[in-house]
Amino acid sequence: MGKIEAAVKSILKEIPDNVEVVAAAKTRTAEEILEAIEAGIRIVGENYIQESLPIIEKIGDKAIWHFIGHLQKNKAKYVVPHYDMVETVDSIPLAEQISKYAIKLDKVMPVLIEINSAREPQKYGVFPEKAIDLITGIKDLPGLKIMGLMTMGPAVNDPALLRPYFAETKSLFDTIKNSGIDGIEMKYLSMGMSDSYLIAIEEGSNVIRIGTKIFGHRAY
């Protein structure tokens, strides 16, 4: 059993059945990603469009493709045809671009709203208190379907320090879910990465984005 296969099997064994794993595949080769898929990964997350398109072409529908990096408005036209979900919607103009290209393809693009749970001005994502305004501002756009929230949390040395950020995002998720806003389906809460996914699951995450723990450390 190869390292990637062993890592995937070990992660899938320790998490609850309702939690989806997104293999964060930034800088990984198609061969590495295929090994993860063969071991049981269903969803692959990519951060960079140029890097990912040849890989998506090679692997195709053997995986579900999530865009998990920051998406510039002018790049939406490349993402919409090739991806199955965008996890990082944080503005009305970006949502409008996704909608525009989805309509052209007669497609409905599921999206998650990226929450800047640490309220760091230099980071992407919408501050928690502005999330409902953003959702109500984009929920009726054709070709786009809000399906939940995503957060990163701040960079910390001890993953336990992320717990309050995950807890606040889960609380926001529940508030939105129970608010009866039409046209949205709060189904996915994407929180937690290689060092923090167990804490994130304890705090209510049902989508985890794992790179290093599956593929090993990146060779830059």
Q: Look up the CATH number of the domain holding residue 199.
A: 3.20.20.10
- pLDDT higher than threshold 80 for residue 218: no
Q: Are 205 and 165 in contact (CB under 8 A)?
A: no
Spatial separation of the C-alpha atoms in residues 119 and 129, rounded to whole Å: 10
- On whether residue 13 sits in a domain, the answer given is no
Against a cut of 0.95, is the pTM above it?
Answer: yes
Instruction: Return all residues near 105 (Cβ < 8 A) that are at least 6 apart.
Output: 80, 81
- On whether residue 37 sits in a domain, the answer given is no
pLDDT in tens, 94-147: 999 999 999 999 999 999 999 999 999 999 999 999 999 999 999 999 999 999
- On whether residue 68 sits in a domain, the answer given is yes
- On whether residue 1 sits in a domain, the answer given is no
pLDDT in tens, 40-80: 999 999 999 999 999 999 999 999 999 999 999 999 999 99
- On whether residue 31 sits in a domain, the answer given is no
- On whether residue 181 sits in a domain, the answer given is yes
Domain enclosing residue 60, as ranges? 45-205
- On whether residue 77 sits in a domain, the answer given is yes
Confidence of residue 220 (pLDDT cuts 50, 70, 90): low
- On whether residue 118 sits in a domain, the answer given is yes
Provide the domain count of the chain. Answer: 1
